[in-house]
Structure 1
Amino acid sequence: MTDQTFDYFTQTELPTPTLSVDEVERLFVDHFGVEVDVRSLGSQQDQNFRVFARGEDGPLGVLKLSNPVFSAAEIEMQDEAAAVVAERQPTLRIPRIVVGPRGPMSAWWESSQGRIHGRVIENISGSTLTGSGYLSPAVVARMGEVAAKVSTSLADYTHEASGRVLQWDLRHASRVIDLLLPLEPDADVRDAVERATRRARSALDAVSDRLPVQAGHFDVTDDNILHPVGERLPDAVIDFGDVVESWAVGEIAVTVSSVLHHDGVDPVGALPAIRAFHAARPLSDDEVEALWPLVVLRGAVLVLSGRQQVRLDEENTYAGDALDREFRVLSQAASVPVEVMTETIRRAVGGTSPVAQPWSGPVLLPPLSRIAVLDAGTVSPLNDDGAWLTADVVERAARAALDDGADAVVLPAWRPVLAGAPRRTPAPPATVSTGLTLWLARETPLGADATVDIIVEAGDGRLLVRSGDRCVSFSGFPTETAAHMVPAGVPIRVRGALRGDVDAPDLVTAALAPGWRAVLGDPASALGFDIPAPDSHGQNDDLLDRRGRVLAEVQEHYYARPPQIERGWREYLVDVDGRVFLDMVNNVASVGHAHPRIADAASRQLRLLNTNSRFHYAAIADYAERIAATLPDELDTVFFVNSGSEAADLAIRLAMASTGRSDIVAMREAYHGWTFASDAVSTSIADNPGAVETRPEWVHTVDAANSYRGVHRGEDASLYAPEAVAVIDRLAAEGRAPAGFMCESYFGNAGGVALPDGYLSEVYRAIRSHGGIAIADEVQVGFGRLGEWFWGFQQQGVVPDVVAVAKSIGAGQPVGAVITRRDIADRYRTQGYFFSSTGGSPVSSVIGMAVLDVIEDESLQENARVVGAHLKSRLEALGEEHPIVGTVHGSGLYLGLEFVRDRDTLEPAREETAAICDRLLDLGIIMQPTGDHLNVLKIKPPLCVTQESADFFVDGLQRVLSTGW
């Protein structure tokens, strides 16, 4: 035992104690009077065991054998600090010293390796966040919140040992790096550390003298934070072994560094932790300046210390296993310049970034009379009809403007550029230009004023122009260009330079763009351009709040913080930042988003005529004939409406009018619409928790014919039909013969579950035997989505009396239809007349015909069959690896992936499904849950989806299931 506190710089090599299990168990009995079994746990510099009283399954606690270099005072301080936090933060679970039959289990042991302190700390139930799995933004934020609670609890705590010198104390990070770097044998590692820390040290030196100091845990990391079993958010902190007095901001810096090696986390992904910490323990301006440099230095210390520990103790698998993770921490921390991350953090905590100093020198170009400003953003017409997929779309637009007489064409800096953006990206792509692009009509001299200092960088087509403290870089010059002359007709990149360097990327992510802009500035003023601010297109930060204030709360939106989607193309959706998402849920856009044939048809008809359907025009008759031609001959009469809800409502009214009865039989767990009648027969509890109990008396329900999780499963699913028949027969016997039976012909609301073979045949026969009619709700699955069949009822080999269809038939236009026999339609006349102002309007009719043309001409039903089969087989393969996958429902491009917590009980994994959808959004995939338990992914992309996109979806899902959500 030593009476002096530890000083790392006097003893840099700290091999861990390596007592054998037998010796540990023997000494445990000698000192604490309990016979135990122990299981080794990892540690960087101590030796840890989980301890079980002999014969017991539950752990007694965690035995910590402290490294002999630590004094009694330091060990006392660790336990005391833990007790202080536990007292001041009752919502945090903090381990205490376990009390045994001889009192607190804390004592000095005389071991084969000398005098070692052993103490048993309470075993906190739950799991750490150790490893490199995914951490959701909510978990990252909670980590920052926990760090803040620990920091505020220890803000006024003092102890005689708090001045000890640890290698993990970030006040000494530079010294540790200087000490260990020359000892690192790998030159590549040395170079990486030197490059990463150069700017960080300089930035930290500028504020280090002004940083507040206090006692802290300084190891609130993924290894030392736990979440309860079955819960996602952590609520416990363990291991107070690094308690010391240091810069207070180091608490959050350490926490942030531990986030950076996790799957999918980049520097921006750590911002939720910083925001949460700041909300509970505000960061000063100096601490904001110091935070990211400290994260970088922490990464460097981890890398060098971990590698030294492995060289010192090759048997230390804990240290060895962490090497890759620690290097990723450093790589991620250094992936963004500290100046840029500092400004990004400043904005994240509500501060205002200083605007980069404007150009103060002479204007670098002569006056130009005609300047054309290009917009290559998400809503720009430049990107219509999929032109954004073409790499040279901006170049062609610039040349066209020059040909039209422009003196200069400018693509401004700091605006998202969709043109040329990637289609499928598992992380937000770099879409915001850090500089402007300039095309000149004529060769133009640069910097006519002799006071401008122009430096020509040989051989790479770059110029660097300086005026005072500001720099502007020009790149893209042909090698034969004369110095000081900007060539004509070629794109020249112009941007501010980072402290005289020219290493800033051409494009950055939208999240980092404000930070980069604060550092680089906008070069437009240096060229004499007065470019107006871009139209925000609703990009204001409060857009979601505005929506909430104006729209009814019940009119929900996908996701808690949804991307602002302003463009679609085929199976893609594009947000205002130019990120392209894969849309795997949107069967509304059946033939693909923004299909030019649909747009052209609508545009042309709007220029001709759009009025209500009582006028006489050709389109309504043409369209009705086209729809009827897809159906059996007897279904020859069409009503046009605006939506699926209206179609279902009208189908019910047709049944009542044609039979003179009012009772309807419907399948439970289905959703048919929101109008009075369609809502009455809807019993999905996901849409209305009280649906079954609140049905009007004229609605009668039968069990959902779900062979996977219904009351009858597997082969027993054949019982559903006779039981439904019994309900119909009973109603008839009671003098309440139903007017009709209504159900989805393919159980869409449950995620695309096929009805049992013969189900509709048997039930249709029963309803017709009592004079009722059979209604098929085809809103979800009609129009070729099932691949093998154009209509869902074809899978059952039946012909309904009434078909209700909508949604996909208009590809986003509100178009719906009800198709029936002429005799049924004629009977509706007894109820009065039918009229829908825009149902079957000229525009709706030509759009509907265009949809049918596209399905046929582009073989989209066949695409649904082929791509859908491939997609289903890949989804089924996931079930062989991941127990959460219960089954895969459906056919073609109407599939449902059902998640369960247990494959025997089929307990729905509802919370997990919601979290999986959120994680898929992070990976660039739009997906939503369905089913009464909201535990089924409703996979119904536009019919044009490609196999490559289907694979991207499954690959993303595989990543989520493997790394977490």
Structure 2
Amino acid sequence: MSSTTNNFDFFSSGELPTPEVTESGAAAIASTLLGQPVTARSLGSQQDANFLLAADGDPVGVLKVANAVFTEQEISAQDTAAAQLAEHLPDLRFPTRLDAPQARPEVPNARVLTFLGGGTLNGSGYLSPRVLAEFGTIVGRVSRALADFDHPGTRRVLQWDLRHSGRVLDLLADAVTDPHRRAVVEWVRAEVWPPVEARDAELPQQSVHGDITDDNVVCRAENGARIPDGVIDFGDLMRSWAVGELAVTVSSLLHHDGVGPLDALTTIAAYDRQRRLSDAEIEALWPLVVVRGAVLVASGNQQVAIDADNSYASSALEREWQILDVAASIPIPVMTAAIRSALGRDSVRAELPRHRQITTAPTEILDLSATSAALDRGRWLDADVEDDLAREALRGGASAVATAFGECRATQARPLSFDASATVATGVDVWFAADTELRAPWPGRLRHNGNSVTLIGDEHILVMRSPGAIDATDRDVEAGDLILESARFRITVVTRANADVEIPDFVVPAAFEAWRSLICDPTPLLNAQPHPAPAAGDVDTLLRRRDASFATVQEHYYAAPPQIERGWRQHLLSTTGRSYLDMLNNVAVLGHGDPEVADATYRQLLRLNTNSRFVYESVVDFSEQLTATLPDPLDTVFLVNSGSEAIDLALRLAMAATGRRDIVGVAEAYHGWTFASDAVSTSVADNPNALSTRPDWVHTVDAPNAYRGRYRDEEAGRYAADAVAAIRALAESGCPPAGFIAEPYYGNAGGIPLPDGYLSAVYEEIRSHGGLAIADEVQVGYGRLGHWFWGFQQQGVIPDIVTIAKAMGNGYPLGAVITSKAVADRYRTQGYFFSSAGGSPVSCVVGSTVLRAIQARGLQANAVEVGGRLKARLQELARKHPIIGAVHGSGLYLGVELVRDRDTREPAPEETARICDRLLDLGVIMQPTSDRQCVLKVKPPLVLERADADFFVDALDHVLTNGF
């Protein structure tokens, strides 16, 4: 093997200012190396100089001028490694050398490498789970492929070699002038680094790229997403710890939007599937991530100090600090436990030693989970609900009440938050009905600190704290000794392993199992029956059970859905205590969990529920209320169970009234799932074969979509003429239609208003041939549009038949068809109509309650006010983000149409799906709609408030700004 004595040694060189090469100089060098004229644009670098080369405006390569301190041997190693990786991993991209190595430019260490298009993950934008996984896979594959690579140029001493981190921090820590940041760097040097250094002999070494970071992976475009598929910049190639390669990668993720330590587990697991980490490497990994962050901070500050004009280095200072700050935000033992769990390795839970109980008072367990009946009516949002529920239990006869250890408390959920709430307590809270003596469970040293006492045993620690001051003294105690004389107040009890780690009061559910490596369940210290915490919900198991017994064709929202078990007004709550703003659910018009509806339903169920052939008052009351909202001659009601049934019945009414069977509908429409309602549904999003499988009695006219249909914008008025002509031609062919059906406000297409005068012209034409006009109000009716209670009012028409469902029951199955007596009576030609549950006493009471509440609570006016604010803010957002092609709709029935190009209006369905997934991460329920699945379907409960509207827009802005 060749000598390595001439290779670079950072500790001999110290300072590495970037080579002074101008863009014009770089162009001259590259032109010589390539034998053709090129231009050069600086790409920036910490210690080298990089330039993008172009000929006739097209990229032709990258000029890399390595720092003059690096030897030809080192540069040869980099080029050889890149070429070997390109050969061994042909599906990935690597920068190979374009110029002849023997070419000798005036500037040493200059060479031209292939240009890899697609861009990098530079910046702090959002990285999706898929990108995080692909990142880890690439690093694992590269690491495995370099395992046998050996070259004398890799044996050098770089400041980026994590094996030398202690020396680097000793040398550069003084460059960090901010006192707080310097203290963190010094903590890393003193506390984090030594245990890693002690594992040196256990950590495998090999050649490593050394810098596979977000800046140094290139991407391909895939359905609008950027997926890593290559690695550039081999300037830090060296021999080092193999696990350091992964630590460098992981650290580079931590400044990205939405990426915290737990998110990095996706990358770590993907790496491990390619190159299995040893136990020693697992133990060293997160400390190395923290150490890497400290090295970046120290090195960045030093580089700026010696190279003040290096904007690349100075612009990175805040990013480098964020990496360290995030990496250090979770204790290393906790993160290591999380890594072990994510990799399927054995992990250890902290358990209590042999102990006595601290109290003999019988203790009941308080249920604070999302499924607790005690939290109905929005009580989970009350600030003092935990104390109130405990006092209620104590007044009911309990001697003591305690929370369940490990429970995801709904009471800790915080609505309108981009971040998941920390809902799992690291201890338990106990309330006592009377003064109670608490005794030491094991021997140890008792320490008192204001409102807490701490018992330090040989291996475990007990902490008890209260809202108020505790009367105690520091002393040694034996098991059974009195440590607290009176506890007639709330006491928080935490038990933990004897480790010098600060324990937070609450942690996010995803981190709890990792924290269990340090904290113990204190429940056995109480006189309580074993009571496992209500499960937070194993969604994967639930989905398997669902698929085993529930037809999978009944799809669910999201590929990885939360388990939703509670709702209140415009909020939904998962079993983990994650609160979501429901911007989608037009069924729950009054909001979720409405007490008035629940109470009315309960009372009627206790009294009577039967079919509508019996005579009772509620069906009359509801029918009168419903017809009172409609103009003459719409005075007769049929009650059914759903919108699909309502559409089906409306079609049969039209056929019975006219004695005909042909129906005219519009394209891009969804009307239901029954035989007849499905027949007139033309949405290919709901059924890809919708248009080709229509029965011969269904005739379709163009969707009157003014944004992206055949006629757009000012030409949209032509839709009416075409529809009129189609109806006339049908009649002249001997098949006059029984009816025309359409949503009066185009819901399925994304909340788009019909062109002015459209329904007036079409209704007139259908009636001129003896047909009936059917208005499908299932989605848009009941005040959702704000300015109009019924959608047809926006068009200034009166239909012959109106259908409604969804909002009618606030989630209870309820639908209706309203028509004239003349049309209703014609149904007798088909026999009589009957629905067992439609029009039952309970459904009628629900319907009456909901209708009265909409009117009494001013929800239609709320749709005008809040919906108007929401639409205005969304339109402001459209001026900022070109992906928003248009904002449709009225009131609280809006559609945000997303496009790849505003001029061509090319739809962006893949982007829309990813935006919805990212909004879920930020606490917003949203889904796509339209045949192209490129419209955000904005139709929340009508109780939406201004703060909610702002939260949604802010969340969408965040997603569109930071990536998805």
Question: What TM bracket, shorter-length normalisation?
Answer: over 0.9
CA contact (8 A) 1:707 1:717 kept: yes
Report how far residue 662 of structure 1 moved. Answer: 0.6
Sequence identity (%)? 53
Match of 2:807 in 1: 808
CA displacement 1:823-870 (0-9 Å, x = unmatched): 111111111222211111122111111111211121111111110000
Mean Cα displacement is larger for which, 391-400 or 495-504? 495-504
Question: Normalization by structure 1: what TM-score?
Answer: 0.96
Match of 1:43 in 2: 45
1:262 has 2:252 as partner:
no
CA displacement 1:470-516 (0-9 Å, x = unmatched): 11111126335244215333211111246444721101101111111
Match of 1:929 in 2: 928
CA displacement 1:386-420 (0-9 Å, x = unmatched): 00111111101111222233222111322111114
Mean Cα displacement is larger for which, 186-195 or 482-491? 482-491
Match of 1:481 in 2: 471
Find the aligned partners of 1:755 and 1:250 in 2 and give their Cα distance: 61
Say which SS state the counterpart of residue 666 (structure 1) adopts: strand
Matched ranges for 1:161-240 at <5 A: 161-196=153-188, 198-201=190-193, 203-205=195-197, 207-229=199-221, 230-240=224-234
CA displacement 1:109-154 (0-9 Å, x = unmatched): 444xxxx211100000111100111111111111111111111111
CA contact (8 A) 2:462 2:495 kept: yes
Find the aligned partners of 1:874 and 1:263 in 2 and give their Cα distance: 23
Match of 1:276 in 2: 270
Say which SS state the counterpart of residue 813 (structure 1) adopts: coil
Match of 2:452 in 1: 462
Match of 1:837 in 2: 836
CA contact (8 A) 2:636 2:820 kept: yes
Matched ranges for 1:450-529 at <5 A: 452-458=443-449, 460-476=450-466, 478-479=468-469, 481-483=471-473, 484-485=483-484, 487-497=486-496, 499-501=498-500, 503-527=502-526, 529=528
Matched ranges for 1:550-589 at <5 A: 550-589=549-588
Find the aligned partners of 2:871 and 2:188 in 1 and give their Cα distance: 46
Report how far residue 232 of structure 1 moved. Answer: 2.0
1:325 has 2:327 as partner:
no
Find the aligned partners of 2:745 and 2:119 in 1 and give their Cα distance: 42
CA contact (8 A) 2:27 2:53 kept: no
Matched ranges for 1:892-903 at <5 A: 892-903=891-902
Matched ranges for 1:733-812 at <5 A: 733-812=732-811
Q: 1:214 to 1:626 in 2, by over 3 A?
A: same
1:436 has 2:428 as partner:
yes
Report how far residue 330 of structure 1 moved. Answer: 0.5
Find the aligned partners of 2:47 and 2:63 in 1 and give their Cα distance: 14
Say which SS state the counterpart of residue 73 (structure 1) adopts: helix
Mean Cα displacement is larger for which, 899-908 or 519-528? 519-528
Q: 1:231 to 1:571 in 2, by over 3 A?
A: closer
CA displacement 1:560-605 (0-9 Å, x = unmatched): 1011111000000000010100000110111100101111111111
Report how far residue 88 of structure 1 moved. Answer: 1.4
1:12 has 2:14 as partner:
yes
CA contact (8 A) 2:370 2:409 kept: yes
CA contact (8 A) 1:105 1:120 kept: no
Segments of 5+ residues of structure 1 without an aligned counterpart are none
CA RMSD of aligned residues (A): 1.8
Find the aligned partners of 2:624 and 2:571 in 1 and give their Cα distance: 32
Mean Cα displacement is larger for which, 373-382 or 870-879? 373-382
CA contact (8 A) 1:106 1:120 kept: no
Say which SS state the counterpart of residue 380 (structure 2) adopts: helix
Question: Normalization by structure 2: what TM-score?
Answer: 0.96
Find the aligned partners of 1:845 and 1:787 in 2 and give their Cα distance: 24
CA contact (8 A) 1:3 1:71 kept: no
CA contact (8 A) 1:473 1:502 kept: no
Report how far residue 551 of structure 1 moved. Answer: 2.6
Mean Cα displacement is larger for which, 398-407 or 522-531? 522-531
CA contact (8 A) 2:493 2:522 kept: yes
Q: 1:660 to 1:833 in 2, by over 3 A?
A: same
Say which SS state the counterpart of residue 723 (structure 1) adopts: helix
Q: 1:30 to 1:906 in 2, by over 3 A?
A: closer
Matched ranges for 1:635-654 at <5 A: 635-654=634-653
Find the aligned partners of 2:199 and 2:365 in 1 and give their Cα distance: 42
Match of 1:153 in 2: 145
Find the aligned partners of 2:370 and 2:417 in 1 and give their Cα distance: 16
Report how far residue 528 of structure 1 moved. Answer: 5.2
Q: 1:714 to 1:24 in 2, by over 3 A?
A: closer
Match of 2:358 in 1: 365
Q: 1:645 to 1:304 in 2, by over 3 A?
A: same
1:140 has 2:140 as partner:
no
1:630 has 2:622 as partner:
no
Find the aligned partners of 2:489 and 2:841 in 1 and give their Cα distance: 48
Match of 1:315 in 2: 309
Report how far residue 34 of structure 1 moved. Answer: 2.7
Find the aligned partners of 1:106 and 1:550 in 2 and give their Cα distance: 70
CA displacement 1:861-906 (0-9 Å, x = unmatched): 1111110000000000011111111111100000001111111111
Q: 1:283 to 1:957 in 2, by over 3 A?
A: same
Find the aligned partners of 2:101 and 2:658 in 1 and give their Cα distance: 83
Say which SS state the counterpart of residue 151 (structure 1) adopts: helix
1:708 has 2:707 as partner:
yes
CA displacement 1:658-704 (0-9 Å, x = unmatched): 11101000011100011111111111111112211221111101111
Q: 1:438 to 1:64 in 2, by over 3 A?
A: same
Mean Cα displacement is larger for which, 312-321 or 532-541? 532-541
Matched ranges for 1:26-105 at <5 A: 26-53=28-55, 56-99=56-99, 104=100
Find the aligned partners of 2:32 and 2:112 in 1 and give their Cα distance: 14
Find the aligned partners of 2:485 and 2:193 in 1 and give their Cα distance: 39
Match of 2:724 in 1: 725
Report how far residue 213 of structure 1 moved. Answer: 1.7
Say which SS state the counterpart of residue 94 (structure 2) adopts: coil
Say which SS state the counterpart of residue 670 (structure 1) adopts: coil
Match of 1:301 in 2: 295
Find the aligned partners of 2:454 and 2:644 in 1 and give their Cα distance: 64
Find the aligned partners of 1:898 and 1:388 in 2 and give their Cα distance: 36
Match of 1:656 in 2: 655
Find the aligned partners of 1:632 and 1:904 in 2 and give their Cα distance: 42
Say which SS state the counterpart of residue 364 (structure 2) adopts: strand
Report how far residue 108 of structure 1 moved. Answer: 4.8
Say which SS state the counterpart of residue 760 (structure 1) adopts: helix
Say which SS state the counterpart of residue 226 (structure 2) adopts: coil
CA contact (8 A) 2:539 2:562 kept: no
CA contact (8 A) 1:390 1:420 kept: no
1:396 has 2:388 as partner:
yes
Matched ranges for 1:845-924 at <5 A: 845-924=844-923
Matching residue's letter, 1:831 = Q
Report how far residue 200 of structure 1 moved. Answer: 2.9
Q: 1:208 to 1:463 in 2, by over 3 A?
A: farther
Report how far residue 203 of structure 1 moved. Answer: 4.8
Match of 2:480 in 1: none
Say which SS state the counterpart of residue 742 (structure 1) adopts: strand
Say which SS state the counterpart of residue 272 (structure 1) adopts: helix
Report how far residue 649 of structure 1 moved. Answer: 0.8
Mean Cα displacement is larger for which, 892-901 or 828-837? 828-837
Match of 1:423 in 2: 415
